[in-house]
Amino acid sequence: MNEETPTFAYYRGKKPPRFATATEREVAKILDYYRIPWEYEPRTFILERDTHGNILEAFTPDFYLPELDLYLEVTQMKQSLVTAKNRKVRKLRDRYPKIRIKLFYKKDFIQLAKKYNTVPPR
Evaluate whether residue 9 is within a structural domain: no
Q: What is the pLDDT of residues 97-112, one digit of tens each?
A: 999 999 988 777 777 7
Quote the number of domains for the chain: 1
Evaluate whether residue 52 is within a structural domain: yes
Evaluate whether residue 17 is within a structural domain: no
Q: What is the pLDDT of residues 41-84, one digit of tens each?
A: 999 999 999 999 999 999 999 999 999 999 999 987 666 668 88
> What is the extent of the structural domain holding 64?
27-115
Residue (of 39, 5, 29, 24) closest to 118 by Cα position: 29
Evaluate whether residue 122 is within a structural domain: no
Distance from C-alpha of 27 to C-alpha of 24, rounded to nearest angstrom: 5
Evaluate whether residue 3 is within a structural domain: no
Evaluate whether residue 74 is within a structural domain: yes
Please give the sequence-ordered ranges of beta strands (E in DSSP) within 1-122, or none if there are none. Answer: 39-40, 45-49, 55-59, 63-65, 70-74, 101-104
pTM for this prediction: 0.83
Evaluate whether residue 96 is within a structural domain: yes
Evaluate whether residue 19 is within a structural domain: no
